[in-house]
């Protein structure tokens, strides 16, 4: 029987734009240099193969890098949601409570409490109710805290 799996690790990735800065940053190899000539339009990421503008360079937790073609990247990865700092603090508190009180599921409790105990326009409960999908994805997959204005 075939089982279905999902990826659970987050990665850092940057889309290659062809700039000299990115060539230097990722130490891309010029095919012309490998062949003993001067410059070639072909660039390679060590251990991963030829890179084209629009491809993605992923960096793992140990600093390893690999190439992901743009179409595969778009099918496989999604950006982490960006959430306000106070919502991130609620998620951190909720996850901590789950370790102590494993009842009802933390995300469910966090969202239901917001509705049952009420909220006012502009407060954290208002944000959670109006961004429930983003809140759920952030709770489950991780998030990035939005920069203060």
pLDDT tens track for 87-103: 888 888 766 555 544 44
Average pLDDT, integer, range 71-92: 89
Average pLDDT, integer, range 31-52: 74
C-beta atoms surrounding 47 within 10 Å: 9
Q: Token pair 């960006």 is at which residue?
A: 82
Strand partners, 51: 43
* pLDDT of residue 64 exceeding 80: yes
Q: How many residues does the chain have?
A: 149
pLDDT at 55: 97
Of 76, 97, 125, which marks where a domain is finished?
A: 76
CA pair distance 137, 60, nearest whole angstrom: 22
Give the domain range for residue 115.
Answer: 82-145
Of 31, 47, 76, which marks where a domain is finished?
A: 76
Same domain, 87 and 114: yes
Same domain, 108 and 55: no
The model carries a pTM of 0.67
pLDDT at 82: 93
Q: Token pair 């208002």 is at which residue?
A: 126
Highest mean pLDDT among 105-109, 122-126, 134-138: 134-138
């Amino acid at each position: 029987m075939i089982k279905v799996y999902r990826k659970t690790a987050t990665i850092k990735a940057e889309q290659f734009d062809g700039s000299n800065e990115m060539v230097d940053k990722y130490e891309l190899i010029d095919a012309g240099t490998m062949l003993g000539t001067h410059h070639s339009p072909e660039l390679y990421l060590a251990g991963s193969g030829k890179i084209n503008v629009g491809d993605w360079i992923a960096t793992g937790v140990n600093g390893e890098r690999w190439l992901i073609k743009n179409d595969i990247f778009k099918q496989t990865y999604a950006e982490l949601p960006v959430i306000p700092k106070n919502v991130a603090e609620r998620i951190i508190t909720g996850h901590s409570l789950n370790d102590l009180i494993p009842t009802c599921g933390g995300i469910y409790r966090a969202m239901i409490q917001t509705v049952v105990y009420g909220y006012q326009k502009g407060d954290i409960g208002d944000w959670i109710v109006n961004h429930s999908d983003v809140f759920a994805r952030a709770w489950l997959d991780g998030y990035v805290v939005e920069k203060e204005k």
